A and B are shown apart, each in its own frame.
Chain A
Amino acid sequence: MIHLLGPALLAAVLAGIGVYGILARRNAVLVLIGAELLLNAANVLLVTASALPAGGLAALGDGLARAQDPLIPGQVMAVFVITVAAAEIGVALAIVLLLFRTRGTVELSEVRELGESSPTYTESPETAVEKG
Chain B
Amino acid sequence: MSGLEVLFAALAVLAAAAGMLAVTGTRVVHCALWLVVCLGALSGVYLVLGAEVVALVQLLVYVGAVVVLVIFALMLTRAPVEPSDRLDGPPCQRLAAGAAGISVGGLLAGTLIYALGGRTVQVQGDQGSAQTVGKAVFSGWLLPFELLSVLLLAALVAAIAVSRNAGR
Chain A contacts to B: CB under 8 angstroms: 1-27, 29-30, 32-34, 36-37, 40-41, 43-45, 47-48, 50-53, 68, 70-72, 74-76, 78-80, 82-91, 93-98, 100-102, 106-107, 109, 121
Contacts and interface: CB of A to CB of B under 8 A. Distances in A.
Contact of A75 (B51, B77, B162): B51
Contacts of A30: 23, 28, 31, 87
Given A2-B5, A24-B23, A51 B49 contact: yes
A27 B28 contact: yes
B15 interface: yes
Contacts of A86: 61-62, 65-66, 152
B120 A89 contact: no
Interface of B: 2, 4-5, 8-9, 12, 15-16, 19-20, 22-23, 28, 31-32, 35, 38-39, 42, 45-46, 48-51, 53-54, 57-58, 61-62, 65-66, 69-70, 72-74, 76-79, 86-90, 93-94, 96-98, 100-102, 104-106, 108-109, 112-113, 116-124, 127-128, 132-133, 135-137, 139-141, 144-145, 148, 151-152, 154-156, 158-160, 162-163, 165
A2 B2 contact: yes
Given A20-B101, A24-B23, A72 B87 contact: no
11 contacts: A2-B2, A3-B5, A4-B119, A16-B105, A23-B96, A27-B28, A44-B46, A51-B50, A84-B148, A93-B159, A102-B165
Identify whether the interface residues of B are mostly helix, strand, loop, or mixed: helix
Nearest to A55: B127
A37 B51 contact: no
A75 B90 CA distance: 40
B69 A93 contact: yes
A98 B165 contact: yes
B101 A26 contact: no
B110 to A, nearest CB: 8
A16 B104 contact: yes
A7 B39 contact: no
Contacts of A51: 49-51, 121, 123-124, 127
A13 B13 CA distance: 10
B45 A3 contact: no
Contacts of B51: 47, 50-51, 74-75, 78
A100 B120 contact: no
Contacts of A8: 109, 112-113, 116
A12 B104 CA distance: 8
Contact of B121 (A1, A36, A101): A1
Nearest to B104: A19
